[in-house]
Structure 1
Amino acid sequence: MDGFHDLGGTQGFGKVPHTINSLTYKPVFKQDWEHLAYSLVFLGVDQLKKFSLDEVRHAVERIEFRQHANTQYYERYVIAAATLLVETGVITKQELDDALGGDFKLALPSISEGRAAIIGRKGFEIGDTVMVRDEYVTGHIRMPGYVRGKKGTVLHKTTEKWPFPDSIGHGHVNAVLQPTYHVQFSTKDLWSDSEEGFVVVDLFESYLDKA
């Protein structure tokens, strides 16, 4: 789905302050409470086994636009995890509200059942020119919108395989396992007014066609 979570290439936000620092490691969590938000996610994913990490990502995508714009990164994962804990019956919305002393705004309900992976075709090899499928879906997808319909070159194919996000993200535990590919794109092909360069995106097999 296209939403606030996928703003790559969107104009009007000004320059992003960024420095390359390969010599030091910054803390993962910038505030004391953030590690608790991360723990809440894996409580549901691993210990309770109530949902998958892709379902958490989909719940983040389902957060209402204005709420999404006014929350921090880890706040969104608290909202997503709480939403899924309610949807899977671990806790009720009323119990959540009572514990917090007010109305806790959950993510919006899902409007899609997801979709299956493409199967029965040969995969891609390093050096292949591929085209990202020009698809617009209402459900969970792990393909950035800015590469939709663009050509790129396969740099690497993973030896491991993972459940197709568009399926597992909607609770389909029988999701097809697929490799991902590191695909290199020219920045000029992605954004005509950009500086010369390249972007590498990790993409599942079902997002790609042979060009």
Structure 2
Amino acid sequence: MDGIHDLGGMQGFPPVDPHDDVVGYHDDWEGLVHGAFTGTLGSGVHNLDEFRHAIERMDPEHYLTAAYYDRWLVGVSTLAVEKGVISPAELRERTAAMADGEATVTERRDPTLVDDLIDGVVDAYAAWEDDREPAFEPGDKVRVRHMHPDGHTRCPGYVRNARGTIVEYRGTHTLPDAHAHGGDEAEPVYNVAFDLSALWDADGESDGDSQSDGAGDTIRVELWESYLEDVDG
């Protein structure tokens, strides 16, 4: 979906510091949130794309002011309610008890639980592959479709309507756009190269319809087949 989470190429945001320390947890509660995500994903409460879509649905102001694992907590909580794991009233009660220091955790001993969750997480990250014949091959000129989906998508906004060149076929994988909404379709995935001048002009404005001469810096993006159309065709 189109939302504030899709920040790639958006004006008004400073460059990302490649040396910024983003590894590890800044506080103990972040590790607990990560554990909650692992538990719900590994036990099949939700899939990976449903989790991403839950975060995308956050209020824009909340999203921009929330810390990284705050967003994860919103995603896990949203899906736990939507999937019927916990009711909204029960979630509010437990949150209030935690804030008041009155929350308790039931002791549970299950020696197989960790292995089961690990297997579930591995399955959740596994991409579905089949023998579908790809429509494009390396060297083909393509254009990213000019689309504005209401649901989840992994097609970045800054490459839409831009022309690029197929660099490599990556195999057939689960389509996130369908997977986030209960579907199980799979499509070929391609590594596509774009000249930066095909994405932004000299003033930094998006110019997706411009035609590059292939010179200058390039960026590569992984894109599913339904995101693309044949320029020549």
| TM interval, short-chain normalised | 0.7 to 0.9
Which amino acid counterpart does residue 10 of structure 2 have in structure 1?
T
* Consecutive unaligned residues in structure 2, runs of 5 or more: 98-131, 205-215
Residue identity in the other structure for 2:40: G
| SS of residue in 1 equivalent to 2:50 | helix
Contact 1:185 1:200 in 2 (8 A): yes
CA distance in 1, matches of 2:22, 2:15: 21
Q: Label 1:122 to 1:86 Cα distance change in 2 as closer, same or farther (>3 A).
A: same
- What is the Cα-based RMSD across aligned positions, in Å? 2.2
Task: Determine which structure has the larger helix proportion and give its number.
Answer: 2
Find the aligned partners of 1:29 and 1:130 in 2 and give their Cα distance.
Answer: 41
Are 1:163 and 2:151 an aligned pair?
no
Tell me which structure has the larger Cα radius of gyration.
2
Match of 2:42 in 1: 46
Q: Given that residues 52 and 171 in structure 1 are in contact (C-alpha distance below 8 angstroms), is that contact kept between their aligned partners in structure 2?
A: no
Distance change >3 Å, CA 202–CA 29, structure 1 → 2: farther
Alignment CA distance shift 1:29-1:152 (3 Å): farther
TM-score (normalizing by structure 2) = 0.72
TM-score for both structures, normalised by structure 1? 0.80
Q: 1:129·1:153 contact (CA, 8 Å) conserved in 2?
A: yes
State the SS of the aligned residue for 1:3. coil
Partner of 2:72: 77
Relative to structure 1, the CA distance from residue 126 to residue 28 in structure 2 (aligned partners, 3 Å threshold; closer, same or farther) is farther
After superposition, give the CA deviation of every residue in 1:24-44 in whole Å (9 maximum; x if it has no partner).
x97344443323322222322
User: Shift of residue 190 of structure 1?
Assistant: 0.5
The one of 54, 60, 67 aligned to 1:59: 54
Q: Is this contact kept in 1: 2:195–2:218, CA < 8 A?
A: yes
Q: 2:175 is aligned with what amino acid?
A: F
**Kept after mapping to 2: 8 A contact 1:134/1:149:** yes
In the alignment, structure 1 residue 178 sits paired with structure 2 residue 190:
no
- Superposition deviation, residue 11 in structure 1: 1.1
Cross-structure match for 1:208: 228
CA contact (8 A) 2:134 2:188 kept: no
Displacement after TM superposition at 1:121 (Å): 8.1
Unpaired runs of at least 5, structure 1: 103-119
CA deviation string 1:32-71 (max 9, x = no partner):
3323322222322221x12111000110110011111110
The alignment covers a number of residue pairs equal to 185
Amino acid at match of 1:187: L
- Following superposition, which runs of at least 4 residues in structure 1 exceed 4 angstroms of deviation? none
**1:8 to partner: Cα distance:** 1.2
